[in-house]
Amino acid sequence: MRVGILGGGSWGTTVASLVLKNARAILWARDPDTVREINDEHTNRRYLPDVALPAKLVATSDLGEAVSEVDVLVIGIPSQSFRDILHQVRDLIGPEVPIISLTKGLELKTRMRMTQIISEVLPGHPCGVLTGPNLAREIMAGFAAASVLAMEDQSAVKALQALFHSARFRVYTNHDVIGCELGGVLKNIIAIATGIGDGFGAGDNTRAALMTRGLAEITRLGTAMGGEPQTFAGLTGMGDLVATCTSVQSRNRTVGYELGLGKDINQIIAAMYMVAEGVRSAPAVVELADEYAVEMPIATEVCAVVQGNRTARDALRGMLRASIGAESEPN
């Protein structure tokens, strides 16, 4: 089997390295210098410092070379560029080739999930998402991890499960694409919130409260949009939330932490090599909450901060302010 992976960032490079254990893989990156480094030095220092890549990993900046004649296409492109890359590959990819998204974001203009965009731009291609508590550097260092491959086509998901699975990277399957995909999107917002608390030195109790109430928000919106409740208690919900809210490797938590230290959001983003999807997705998430009449007080506060309409200190106070009521209630 030949697999094309689009996206030379930390996660795209990591997934390409995982796939190589089970199939042939070719990695596409926009930057010719990144391609040269991967092919000649077997490193990708900008995104995975101090990590040695498999010597047989091949990279290219030629999209046609990466996409033509592949049996599976995996896409790890930031959410706001996702549609554009699909249009570019539409005439290059073979018919009915499965397409798997690695991207944990929403398209801002349409508020669509990545699998929805795939179905719209490339109808007839089975599509799914690989998602879970997966920190790229830990996986490349050989630490054990688990992920979920979610597809509606259960025959396809079983066939593709073995493509990503290995001794230290356990891959489970799920039919709930909506729930799995939304879990990966929404936890980024909560990670910014917990990062803000950490930046202010708010403590473990505050972090636990934000994560727990954040999971309630994720579940409310996710189920309103068609996800299954049990999905949000699993790897793509609670599991991904724990990893993203607590790890210093988390881009979204880092954004929140820097906000908690008093830094400006534009300065924080300008200093980052990689995209923090929670910053981009926050406005779309709040709009979806309004559309589905779901109360998301934490997400609303985070959105106000990343858009520059509220200070991090005031947002943290707003997140922790609650009326007296039952735990099952939104506030």
Model confidence pLDDT, tens digit, residues 110-146: 999 999 999 999 999 999 999 999 999 999 999 999 9
Is-contact 253 194, C-beta < 8 A? Answer: yes
What torsion do the CA atoms of 15, 16, 17, 19 make, to the nearest 10 degrees? 80
- Both tokens assigned to 283: 């406005």
Separation between Cα atoms, residue 198 and residue 203, nearest integer Å: 7
**pLDDT score of 272:** 86
Please name the amino acid found at residue 248. V
What is the set of active-site residues?
187
pLDDT digits (tens, 9 = 90+) for 153-178: 988 999 999 999 999 999 999 999 99
Domains and CATH numbers, the chain: 2-175 (3.40.50.720), 178-320 (1.10.1040.10)
Write out pLDDT tens, residues 1-52.
999 999 999 999 999 999 999 999 999 999 999 999 999 999 999 999 999 9
- Asked whether the beta carbons of 63 and 30 are under 8 A apart, the reply is no
Render the burial of 188-212: b for 16+ CB within 10 Å, e for the rest. Answer: bbbbbbbbbbbbbebeeebbebbbe
* CA of residue 75 relative to chain centroid, distance: 11
Number of H helices, E strands in the chain: 15, 8
